[in-house]
């Protein structure tokens, strides 16, 4: 079965550079979530989209932006990277909103290292 696809899997950037992460949800999943997980930490909710519109915002820095496109894939753009942005970034998708539909399927993650 098709899963959530994230790219790139690994990314190394210098401080103050920009990075873009991509997420391709499971077909027919119209909701996408972005999470940031630091070493030994729990996943921190960044932002979510439902039907190409932002549905909720968590602890996403102002330096980050995201969007969901017409084909439902999503991109997380990170600018002015800081050392503290080094983390595993997960994308998850769900069939929709509400109990039952909002079960999250996670991608394998994109590991960002900022030097």
Instruction: Using CB under 8 A, list all residues that contact other proteins.
Output: 31, 33, 35, 41-45, 48, 50, 55-56, 58, 90, 92, 97-100, 102-109
Q: Which residues lie across from 49 on neighbouring strands?
A: 32, 54
Return the number of the residue (79 or 105) whose C-beta is nearest other proteins.
Answer: 105
Return the number of the residue (20 or 105) whose C-beta is nearest other proteins.
Answer: 105
Return the number of the residue (26 or 79) whose C-beta is nearest other proteins.
Answer: 26
Q: How far is the CB of 55 from other proteins (least distance, A)?
A: 7
Other Cβ atoms within 10 Å of 31 Cβ, number: 23
């Amino acid at each position: 079965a098709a899963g959530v696809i994230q790219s790139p899997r690994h990314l190394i950037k210098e401080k103050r550079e920009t990075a873009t992460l991509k997420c391709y949800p499971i077909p027919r999943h119209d909701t996408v979530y972005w999470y940031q997980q630091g070493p030994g930490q729990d996943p921190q909710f960044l932002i979510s989209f439902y039907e190409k519109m932002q549905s909720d915002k968590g602890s996403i820095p102002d330096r980050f932006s995201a969007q969901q496109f017409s084909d439902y894939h999503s991109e997380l753009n990170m600018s002015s990277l800081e050392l503290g942005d080094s983390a595993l970034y997960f994308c998850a998708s769900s069939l929709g909103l509400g109990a039952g539909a909002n079960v999250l399927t996670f991608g394998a993650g994109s590991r960002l290292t900022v030097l």
